[in-house]
Chains A and B, each alone.
Chain A
Amino acid sequence: MRAKYVLAEMLVGLWRNVTMTIAMIITMIVSLSMLGASLLMYMQVDEMKGHYYEQVEVSIYLEKSIGDAERSAIKSQLDADPLVKNVIWETKEMAYENFKEQFRDAPDLVNAIGADELPESFRVALENPQEFDKINAAYAGLPGVDTVVDQQKLLQKIFDILGSIQNLSLVVAGAMGIAALLLVANTIQVAAYSKRREVAVMKLVGASNWFIQAPFVLEAVFAAVLGSILAWVMLVVGKIVLIDGKLAALTDLLLPVSWGNINLMLPILAGIGAVVSAVTAWVTLRFYIRV
């Protein structure tokens, strides 16, 4: 009976003030979907780092004029190095084969390069991919070494771009989040004002505090949960239209965003939204209107 009363009061409150309710829900959708997008991006970058760092190697390119003694000196130093996980010696012929494979769609390019022109190299997988600097310092100056290239650096640029998109969406999420909270506080104040007579009588006859406050707090929680469901729908639409649609070409490089991660956003966003707006509503009731 009491639950029914509280729910009915909640719906009456939302409906009586419907324009404000809609504004509250819209700001929550924008804020929560931005938050969800940046969380997804964070998870994505994490997954990509794991995926690519496994494969990424340091290439030590050798000079064309290198002698066998120098080559085997470098090889044995690499074999003994504790920073190195494993080493592959890529001969000129292997480099050419890989090159042909990689650019098989561009035969002109392949024809332009002779089998002899690509440098031989050691492809080195590191125990810890972050320790490129040490490898570079140890091998760049050795006789017979041309250059030491960290393939990770190339990826780092992509991660930096993703990171700044992520920061941008966090800023937007934060700004919209503040707007959403202010709207929650305002909506609760208006709702409490429109029911001030009822509230006064309830206090007078000794209705418990939670009973008086619950409908108002639930109004905010309801809006937050609805907002987070719609924000999740936005993320789903975003995946279908953008990531799997227009930007599908990019996902070869960036790895596809999994449905599992997208679906994980629903409980996370609903939880964050509900808790934050419930606290806001409660604080508003407690400090601004003393319901």
Chain B
Amino acid sequence: MTKANDAGRRRLWWKKSLWLLLLFIMVFTSGCWDRRELENLAVVLGMGLNHTPGGEGYEVSFQIVRAAQIKSPGVSSGGGEKMRPFWILRSSGPTVFEAIRNATFQSSRRLFLSHSQVLVINEAVAREGLTPALDFFIRDHEPRLSLWLLLTAEDPVQIFDASAGLEMVSSQAISDLLQQYHLTSKIRPVRLAEYVRLIMAKTTANTLPVIRTIENAGKKEFYFEGTGVIKGDKLVGFLDPIETRGLLWVLGEVQGGVITFDVPGKKGKATLEIFTSSSTVTVQVKADKIHVKIEVQVRSGLGNQTTYTDLSTPDQFKKLETRQAEVIKGEIEAALAKAREYGADIFGFGQQLYGHDNRAWQRLAADWERHFREATVEIKVKAVLVELGLTTRPVLD
């Protein structure tokens, strides 16, 4: 009796062990179906979009990191030629996706797009319409919506080829640089996600920062200047850096930067540092006429002066505040004038109306360009000066 029981138990134990063994084998010998090992991947940091020289299809350029070169910078002893830490590749095809796949004709490793940070778009492509060019980047699962979008008049390869300054790879440098836009607030960095959000708002026009190369001591370097205005999905014109900041004031995106103007009644200039700003935009519709009220509030401090007068008195502060408000108002008006000229609602007045008075928006959206141009805009700027820095008056007055 007990013996039979024992045998049964032993058989059960065997059975259990066998299952456990099978489980172990399953866990430790299985792999992913479509695994991709790091050494078989070409990690792309930046991509560029251009038309093919013939005109029909797209030419996509890639900046691919050479990971080995990044790991050991400066180890070029032994006479070996030091390679740049990246490789620039061009590839073309009738659509963006095909162009990207065609890159495998040249690249021994498959391109991996998930880590790409910037997408530099040639202006000619942007003039023709961005929707067909950007569809792949939105649809495919590999590129991320956090991609920074940029415009350039040159071949995007030129941008990647330019010196990256203190960084190893220029795409990385561009991405870092865009994230400190608030030091001047004269660039408006735009991620792919933001672009898609605005374009789906229908009436709102997009803006993208413009990048170009400059010559510096025989070396090429990249440089940001101004903003492209994208109406619908087509590039229609540009804003200069001051107008760009005018736009940022309205959007409430000025989070720093400096502002310089002549000191009222004195000879010389004062430069103020902007600490924070906020804005409120209200859009009202009366009898199909649009009335926009923009209120901007700014806090700033005195950062630099070239006059010999003491600007630290409350009386002078008052004057500086008034003057600063006027200058900011001027910047906003400059941006508004350009936007009216292009008929592009870069400020998102339409989006404001869409959210708060949807019926009016539905009535006016079809002819928004005209309504936007004819809108009356009231700008109120309230500037407050709060700091002096470490000194009161200039050393010699």
Do A and B share a complex? no
Please report A residues at the B interface, Cβ cutoff 8 Å: none
Please report B residues at the A interface, Cβ cutoff 8 Å: none
